[in-house]
A = this chain, B = another copy of it.
């Protein structure tokens, strides 16, 4: 793992790493903010949305300012495999920049698109190396925006020993009921409905549940709200499953990082309190 960029920020350090991924079979970049003390009290992964790389959240979300106050490290992975050898499409919701945090079984995606394994199997080891600590002791928090909110919710419910806290910003609340998801799930996974359900946050509320609470923020001026995000489905499933989900809906806020940055400090504090409460 190479360090390809490094600078001080917020009293801590921002670094960008590059490595050959076994999960995605290509070169991957990810960014890490380490607070001033070096050994953080907690670690939070931020999963980005469609078209993003690690850079959108690292530059626009204001996460590091909040993390510095809580002695928290923040991890910013990429959203998909990338490269000339990696399949792609002309649609922004499919292919490079649109990994959907799943393992594709269908051609031409199967050889590289395995972002769930990348995040849950490979990245934790890389984080251990970069931080020189064993994050399995305390676990991590996970959050994300849009497709990354979908990723945070679904990966947390399926990997509760790895993720001890979960929140989301304007997540795709049900991939199966999302316009994006309805295009993407068959392309990556074929027509097997059980495979689709395994990557649907609303379905996972019933099948897997979650042992803690959840925080979701949603802007009500979000152009993708009705067709792609549908937080009411998640809220209903949480209610049915008895999972304490706080869904905050904000009038006037859109889908941009202006929205994410507006509530990031709340999410960082929320994760910090849960990750350091042991």
Query: Does any Cβ of B come within 8 Å of A11's Cβ?
Result: yes
Copies of this chain, tallied across the complex:
2
Contacts of A221 in B (CB 8 A): 7-8
Judge whether A270 is part of the interface by a CB distance below 8 angstroms. Answer: no
**CB-CB < 8 A to A9: which residues of B?**
253, 258-259, 261-262
Shortest CB distance A268–B (Å): 12
Contact B59 A62 (CB under 8 A): no
Q: Is A10 an interface residue (CB 8 A)?
A: yes
Interface residues on chain A, number (Cβ under 8 Å): 26
Question: With an 8 A cutoff between CB atoms, is A83 at the interface?
Answer: no
Is the Cβ of B259 less than 8 Å from the Cβ of A7? yes
Inter-chain contacts of A65 with B (CB < 8 A): 62, 65, 261-262, 265
Of the candidates B7, B257, B265, which one forms a contact with A252 in the assembled complex, judged by CB atoms under 8 Å apart?
A: B7
Q: Which residues 184-214 of A have a CB within 8 angstroms of B? A: none
A60 interface residue (CB < 8 Å to B): yes
A10-B262, A13-B252, A59-B60 given; 13 more Cβ-contact pairs under 8 Å: A7-B219, A7-B221, A7-B252, A7-B259, A8-B251, A8-B252, A8-B254, A8-B262, A9-B258, A11-B262, A59-B59, A64-B261, A65-B261
List A residues at the B interface (Cβ < 8 Å): 7-11, 13-14, 59-60, 62, 64-65, 219, 221, 250-254, 256-259, 261-262, 265
Question: What are 15 A-B contacts with C-beta separation under 8 Å?
Answer: A7-B253, A7-B259, A8-B251, A8-B253, A8-B254, A9-B253, A9-B258, A9-B259, A9-B262, A10-B261, A14-B258, A60-B60, A62-B65, A64-B258, A65-B261
